[in-house]
Amino acid sequence: MNDRTLAYSPCPNDTYIFAALTNGLLPDAPRVRVELGDIEELNNAAAAARHELTKVSYGAIPYLMRDYRILRSGGALGRGCGPLVVTRPETAASLDDLRGARFAIPGERTTAFMLLQLALGGRPDAVQMRFDRIIPAVAAGEIDAGLIIHESRFTYQAHGLRSVADLGAWWERASGMPIPLGAILVRDDVPDADAQAIDAAIRASLSFARRDEAAIMPYVREHAFEMSDDVMRKHIDLYVNEYSDDVRDDGIAAVRELFARAHAAGILERDAAPRFLR
């Protein structure tokens, strides 16, 4: 098998999952060339089919099924791990108070923005920012509310902000299903046999990480920016779970439900069927 490009974010859940594969710690595993990027950068790159393997938001996947199918391993789904809406305490007490407000969002095609539109019942006034710029912008009064993802859910209170909506909890109440956040895609020009070998290698990489964290945590810390060890640990514990090994039938059902609701709400112009690797 030729070396394949693999793109993912520097967030601890991704670096934890891929550390062993990326750093050659798995005998006989496929070789990959890694590129790191912010999740919206990855979503945009996938729209151009730039990478053979890439992490993307489930919110972007309806626009990518012409060129990609979804691997069963390596993704981000779960419960209690959804995006939050945060504001300054004096700005709002609930999501209803923010109708007409201006939101900072981490990307137009992130799952977080799809969930926000579903919860609000329409598209808000929104400006896109890198996810790590949103909390400072809200705290400084540059923006009314922020839609936060990743490790920001563990740090917003230190900036004097309050959470007025947990969109993951909203989704779970509305659907009874886990929250589909992100997935690993494989481009259609990668043969099924190679894609299945990569899928198995990702699962093996995660198994290695759980078995020998001492070998992989330096790589995770290297890419965790200024994140404390405590926040890094909470991030991994929340976003790396049983769905990281395999999306499972209930995960696939949750993805289908998300897309169906987005289509019914007019967020997606046409219905989209996710294509998972068999």
pLDDT, one tens digit per residue, over 21-50 is: 999 999 989 999 999 999 999 999 999 999
Residues 167-183 have pLDDT tens digits of: 999 999 999 999 999 99
Mark whether 142 and 95 lie in a shared domain.
yes
Is 263 a residue of the active site?
no
Q: Is residue 165 part of a domain?
A: yes
Residue, of 269 and 191, whose pLDDT is higher: 191
First-residue to last-residue Cα distance in the chain: 19
Q: Is residue 232 part of a domain?
A: yes
Mark whether 93 and 151 lie in a shared domain.
yes
Mark whether 229 and 170 lie in a shared domain.
no
Owner of token pair 């989209």: 272
Percent of the chain at pLDDT exceeding 90: 91
Q: How is residue 96 written in tokens?
A: 């209803």
| Domain's final residue, options 137, 154, 175 | 175
Would the pLDDT of 1 be above 70?
no
Domain count, the chain: 2
Q: Is residue 276 part of a domain?
A: no
Would the pLDDT of 252 be above 90?
yes
Would the pLDDT of 227 be above 90?
no
Type of residue at 14: D
Domain residues for 199? 4-78+179-264
* CATH number for the domain that contains residue 104: 3.40.190.10
| Domain's final residue, options 175, 207, 232 | 175
Q: Is residue 272 part of a domain?
A: no
Q: Is residue 239 part of a domain?
A: yes
Would the pLDDT of 2 be above 70?
no
Average pLDDT, integer, range 177-201 = 96
What Cα–Cα distance (Å) separates residue 205 from each residue in 28, 77, 169, 271? 12, 18, 30, 34
Mark whether 55 and 183 lie in a shared domain.
yes
Out of 51, 150, 159, 235, which one is annotated catalytic?
A: 150
Compute φ and ψ for 242, nearest 5 degrees: -60, -25
Q: Give the whole-angstrom CA distance, residue 81 versus residue 84.
A: 9
Mark whether 29 and 17 lie in a shared domain.
yes
The model's pTM is 0.94
Q: Is residue 278 part of a domain?
A: no
